[in-house]
Copies of this chain bind each other. A is one copy, B any other.
Amino acid sequence: MTSIVAANFAKFGKREEDIFSLSREAALPVTRKYGKDVDFLVVSNSYSGEFNEISGLNNLITTHLSMDSVPSVRVDNTSGSGGSAVLVARALIDSGEAERVLVLGVEKMTGYPTKNSTRIIASLLPPEERAGGLSLPSLAAFMTRTYMNEFSPSRESIAGVAVKNHHNGSLNPYAHFQSEVTLDKVMNSKVIADPLRIFEFCPVSDGAVSMLLTSDSESESFTGRPVRILATGAASGTSSITFRNSLVAIDAVKESSAKVFRKASMTPKDVDVAELHDMASILEIVESEDVGFFGKGEGWKALETGETEIGAELPINTSGGLNSKGHPIGASGVAQSAEIYLQLSGQAGRRQVKNPEIGFSLSMAGFGNNATSILYGVVP
């Protein structure tokens, strides 16, 4: 069994620093305290080659962290890299290959023209669909239209994801956006992919986050409040949108989530706090259904009742989510795990949920090309 015993952020946002400085800012507070004990570094990063003209990033980072002999690897799964990295780190510990793994999620995206970065990120779509003009924002728009046709949600409930998550982000000192937005402002903001507006999409962000994982047996020598990883599970969906069963459900999310609840002998009802992959507002709603928190076509109602707000029954994206915290690709999934760690260990500050015991995160690659679900629990 593996536990999380420490986490630290370099603030997400438009940062002047390079990828190495961001990595140091996130990792050094952890490695200064525990560095000599770390025996594996897992770097979660997707695009250092494309955005930063750097390859072998993980090995350069060990040098920057003065961890020269510590073995390292880069794990990539585009937007879902972080979940995969945590899954791999846990497997390294549970298999006995390593005892203390530092997981570092980092991406440096700004300083590169947004038009180019959108093109590069779209390179995860099948070449033939990319050639047809599909992009991730346009897929989110298709999903929104289909969802609206099939389930007749209020348009405001979908935009409400951005309102809720911007509120949460305003309580998170590491979030890209530090201000709330009103529903009016979201609904009247620039259209990016009709009907979705700019506030409903995650921004392009730089950022980094580090997390120390150890074997469960020694976790309490690091902290009085370790958080155990109860189960990890991953699944893919076809990357070809044309061949999907549905535009309003994501098979990879369903399968990976069913897997972790089965492994941990739990149900979605057991979860006290969750981080979902809200690259676009509609995704939080669709995923909240596919994870099993709500019935299909019912997820939007939670945005009207407030059920997923901090203080309510099932807070979702207390960190601000990708929508407000930002989405430095390789860092996002690690940041989700770090947020659950902070929540379950009672270190989430102004956005703290009251005494959560079970947490859940969903890290997704592409538009459901792959998903990693993780369940976490307070060590009794």
Q: Among the listed stretches A4-12, A88-96, A183-191, A201-209, which one makes contact with chain B, having 4 or more residues with CB under 8 Å of it?
A: A88-96
Supposing A55-B50, A56-B369, A63-B238 touch, asked if A69 and B120 sit within 8 A by C-beta, the answer is no
Contact call B72/A75, Cβ cutoff below 8 A: no
Q: Quick check: A68 and B236 within 8 Å, CB to CB?
A: yes
Q: Which residues of B contact A72 (CB under 8 A)?
A: 77, 234, 236, 370
Which B residues are CB-close (under 8 A) to A87? 73, 97
Q: How far is the CA of A238 from the CA of B64 in the complex (A)?
A: 9
Give the distance in Å from the alpha carbon of A75 to the alpha carbon of B127 in the complex: 22
Contact B73 A77 (CB under 8 A): yes
In chain A, positions 27-74 with a C-beta closer than 8 Å to chain B are 40, 46-47, 49-50, 53-56, 58-60, 62-63, 67-74
**A96: nearest chain-B partner, CB-CB:** B94
Give the docked Cα–Cα distance between A240 and B126 (Å): 38
Q: Which chain B residue lies CB-closest to A124?
A: B56
Chain B residue contacts of A78, Cβ below 8 A = 55-56, 59
**Partner among B74, B84, B96 whose Cβ is within 8 Å of the Cβ of A77:** B74
Contact B77 A76 (CB under 8 A): no
Bound-state Cα–Cα, A325 to B78, Å = 31
Q: Does A284 reach chain B (CB closer than 8 Å)?
A: no
CA A222 to CA B197, docked complex, whole Å: 53
The count of identical subunits is 2
Indicate if A148 sits at the interface (CB-CB under 8 A): no
Beta-carbon nearest neighbor of A20 in chain B: B127
How far does the Cβ of A257 sit from chain B's closest Cβ, in whole Å?
13
In the assembled complex, A239 has its CB within 8 A of some CB on chain B: yes
CB distance from A372 to the nearest CB of B (A): 8
- The smallest C-beta distance from A299 to any residue of chain B, in angstroms, reads 23
Instruction: Flag whether A237 is at the interface (Cβ < 8 A).
Output: yes
Q: How far is the CA of A22 from the CA of B74 in the complex (A)?
A: 23
**Which residues of chain B are near A120, meaning CB under 8 Å?**
49, 55
A369: chain B residues within 8 A (beta carbon): 56, 59-60
When distances are taken between beta carbons in the complex, the residues of chain B under 8 Å from A240 are 63
Chain B residues contacting A74 (CB-CB under 8 Å) are 75-77
Q: Is the CB of A70 within 8 A of B236?
A: yes
Residues of B within 8 A of A59 (CB): 77-78, 124, 236, 239, 365-366, 369-370
Measured CB to CB, the nearest residue on chain B to A40 is B234
Cα of A95 to Cα of B87 in the assembled complex, Å: 11
Contact A234 B71 (CB under 8 A): yes
What B residues does A126 contact at CB under 8 A? Answer: 60, 63
List residues of A whose CB falls within 8 A of some B CB: 40, 46-47, 49-50, 53-56, 58-60, 62-63, 67-78, 84, 87-88, 90-97, 120-121, 123-124, 126-127, 232, 234-240, 251-252, 255-256, 365-366, 369-370, 372
**A/B interface sample: 13 pairs, CB < 8 A:** A46-B55, A55-B76, A55-B78, A55-B123, A59-B124, A60-B369, A63-B240, A68-B236, A68-B237, A73-B77, A75-B76, A91-B91, A94-B94
9 closest residue pairs by CB, A with B: A56-B124, A71-B234, A94-B95, A59-B369, A95-B95, A91-B95, A91-B91, A74-B76, A68-B238
